[in-house]
Chains A and B, each alone.
Chain A
Amino acid sequence: MQLYLPIADIPINVFLILAMGAAVGFVSGMFGIGGGFLLTPLLIFIGISPAVAVASVSTHIAASSLSGALSYWRKRSIDLTLALVLLGGSILGTVLGVWLFTYLRTLGQLDLVIALSYVVLLSGVGAAMFYEGMRAIARARRGGNPTLRRPGSHSWIHGLPLKMRFKRSKIYLSVIPVNVIGLLIGFIGAIMGVGGSFILIPLLIYLLRVPTSTVIGTSMALTLVTMVIATVLHAVTNHQVDAVLALILMVGGVTGAQFGARAGQRIRGEQLRLLLGLLIFAVGVRFAVELAIRPEELYTIREAGGGG
């Protein structure tokens, strides 16, 4: 069934978009991530301009993270204080990101920056997660104790001032690194059209030692707010949010996420991390290859001052 998208200005196959939303939703439900880093490239691949793809995916992630966050809320595994402090930095980061996004579009280097950020972040985070997953599995094989919380192994981060207590996560921490991480995630999210939880979750776990019980719920709550803000900002500054595209993605995404979450419960944590690491790394490598080999088409056309 063909449907003409009012903002993207091209007709698309509704079932294809639904299927893409469902497939990415499955992955995101399984790993507890937004899945924007998979969905945005897929949309660009089927001919939607990067600007529309990034902006509309933010809307999609807002929807999927709300449904996720609500279920974590019921399980009381969202640390609201931590989410709010992260949010403070994240709002600033999102505003900066949308501003840079608009500026890069006028320069004609938006595609390059999106591609480069994908390469650097995805292959880096993917490789790190893969490595960590391998080690965890090896540790489990040896019969060791696979604890993530190592009390006493405090880094310099725990020596920073302005400390406050995050009750639900049971940590006592300076607000400075929390704010900085929030800013980074907001910034990256706005530029890449991703929620950023695939970066946020590792940072929270390994850098701030947030317990795994609250980390996913908190990251979803944060993603929800930043993506709502990103949607509104993209709509105001770039006019590139396609509500129809976003709605189709959402319907597919939230459905797929339910099945993904069920599948995810049957896989062990470290294997899950290994798989996710591999997936993220593969997407990063794909972008790297695209930048490194000579493209088939050297020329591109963009409407000046519009169209992405």
Chain B
Amino acid sequence: MSWLRLAIVGIALSLGCIASSDRACAERLIVSVSNHRVTVTSSYAGEELVLFGSVERDGNATAQDGYDLVVTVSGPRADMVTRRKERRFGIWVNADSRQFLDVPAYLAISSNRPIDRIAPPDVRRRQQLGLDNVLLTQRVGTDYADVVASDPFRSAFVRLRADHGLYREATSAVTFLTPTLFRTGIPLPAEVPIGTYNVDIQLFSNGALVTRTQTAFEVVKVGFEQFIANTARHHGLAYGLATAMMALLTGWMASIVFRRD
């Protein structure tokens, strides 16, 4: 899709600069998403948004060796269950399961170079950079905790979401057009979750967080799609009766159209 045709609906200004002593408010980020309202209609089959922005610097800015950028897009949150099949009595059945609490249904992390070269491990963990460091809270028995990235349930969860285009980590997706002007794509898959998406943009220099800003967009069903989904959810009985009527009408019409006797 062409992002040029889309009006810039809003520009998120970064006011929350990091109050670190030596480089206070030396940089700020100005970003915008090409579309703040993605509409899911009957012809929807995935879409790619573009996020672009620039790094505004005042005189105190000191980053001589360039900036690094990590963009984290997280979709609406939900509880999800991951189940593992095991062989029981000769057949494969769902046995063990873990519940992931309040995890994003969509998660895309883009950066301009591999995240392990942008920041040291402690910063990566603190800022939740990359799929390995994003907090995915699990309920393990009665405990609530995130586990190590190599946990089989966690890695299976991330892998399955990635297979559907719902989780992704692209370490070369952010392009610096000039040293301060950047853009990146946000690919939304066909099975896009409906809801509000938060975009968190973090600027790093020399492995330290310089500043960050946030913006958001929403994915909504509109028109017929919205009508059907809402009716099915909130007026189940009416919806069921209407669907049954539709079935009966179709069957009746077929018997007239194809009548042979």
**Interface contact B40-A67, CB-CB below 8 Å:** no
A212 within 8 A of B: no
Among B41, B97, B240, B254, the residue within 8 A (CB) of A254 is B254
**Interface contact A239-B232, CB-CB below 8 Å:** yes
Known pairs A301-B80, A301-B82; list 20 more (Cβ under 8 Å). A4-B44, A6-B224, A6-B226, A6-B232, A60-B247, A67-B258, A111-B94, A228-B247, A235-B237, A236-B237, A237-B236, A250-B250, A255-B254, A257-B254, A298-B85, A299-B157, A301-B83, A301-B161, A303-B79, A305-B79
**Interface contact B240-A7, CB-CB below 8 Å:** no
Among A6, A239, A292, A300, the residue within 8 A (CB) of B94 is A300
Contact count band on B: 35 or more
B239 within 8 A of A: yes
**Interface contact B250-A243, CB-CB below 8 Å:** no
Considering only CB atoms, which chain A residue lies closest to B152 in the complex? A299
> Which residues of B223-258 are within 8 A (CB) of A?
224-226, 228-229, 232-233, 236-237, 239-244, 246-248, 250-252, 254-255, 258
A127 to chain B: which residues have CB within 8 Å?
Answer: none
Min distance, Cβ A197 to any Cβ of chain B, angstroms: 15
B177 to chain A: which residues have CB within 8 Å?
Answer: none
A116 to chain B: which residues have CB within 8 Å?
Answer: 91
A271 within 8 A of B: no
> Interface digits, A290-305 against B, CB 8 Å rule (1 contact, 0 not)?
0111110111111111
Min distance, Cβ B131 to any Cβ of chain A, angstroms: 15
Considering only CB atoms, which chain B residue lies closest to A298 in the complex? B85
B59 within 8 A of A: no
**Interface contact A241-B82, CB-CB below 8 Å:** no
In the docked arrangement, what's the CA distance between A267 and B144, Å?
63
Considering only CB atoms, which chain A residue lies closest to B192 in the complex? A9
Which residues of B come within 8 Å of A, CB atoms?
40-46, 78-87, 90-94, 97, 99, 105, 153, 156-157, 159-161, 190-191, 194, 221, 224-226, 228-229, 232-233, 236-237, 239-244, 246-248, 250-252, 254-255, 258-261
Min distance, Cβ B150 to any Cβ of chain A, angstroms: 15
Considering only CB atoms, which chain B residue lies closest to A60 in the complex? B247
Min distance, Cβ B177 to any Cβ of chain A, angstroms: 33
Among A6, A235, A301, the residue within 8 A (CB) of B236 is A235
A-B pairs with beta carbons under 8 Å apart, 26 shown:
A4-B43, A9-B194, A10-B190, A59-B247, A66-B252, A71-B255, A75-B261, A109-B94, A116-B91, A227-B247, A228-B247, A228-B248, A231-B244, A237-B236, A243-B246, A291-B92, A292-B91, A294-B92, A297-B160, A298-B156, A299-B84, A299-B160, A300-B82, A300-B160, A304-B80, A306-B78
Top 8 nearest A-B pairs by Cβ distance?
A: A235-B240, A66-B251, A254-B254, A232-B240, A299-B156, A6-B228, A304-B79, A63-B247
> Interface digits, A195-232 against B, CB 8 Å rule (1 contact, 0 not)?
00000000000000000000000000000100110011
**Interface contact B237-A291, CB-CB below 8 Å:** no
In the docked arrangement, what's the CA distance between A203 and B239, Å?
34
Among A7, A59, A258, the residue within 8 A (CB) of B258 is A258
A33 within 8 A of B: no
B92 to chain A: which residues have CB within 8 Å?
Answer: 291-295, 298
Contact count band on A: 35 or more
> Which residues of A54-101 are within 8 A (CB) of B?
59-60, 62-67, 70-71, 74-75
Considering only CB atoms, which chain B residue lies closest to A306 in the complex? B78
Considering only CB atoms, which chain A residue lies closest to B258 in the complex? A258
Min distance, Cβ A4 to any Cβ of chain B, angstroms: 4
A273 within 8 A of B: no
Interface centre among B40, B91, B251 (most CB of A within 10 A): B251
In the docked arrangement, what's the CA distance between A22 and B189, Å?
29
B240 to chain A: which residues have CB within 8 Å?
Answer: 231-236, 241
A146 within 8 A of B: no
In the docked arrangement, what's the CA distance between A67 and B253, Å?
8
**Interface contact A302-B45, CB-CB below 8 Å:** no
**Interface contact A254-B250, CB-CB below 8 Å:** yes
In the docked arrangement, what's the CA distance between A235 and B235, Å?
9
Min distance, Cβ A183 to any Cβ of chain B, angstroms: 21
A304 to chain B: which residues have CB within 8 Å?
Answer: 78-81, 99
Min distance, Cβ A184 to any Cβ of chain B, angstroms: 23
**Interface contact B44-A108, CB-CB below 8 Å:** no
A11 within 8 A of B: yes
Among A63, A111, A246, the residue within 8 A (CB) of B254 is A63
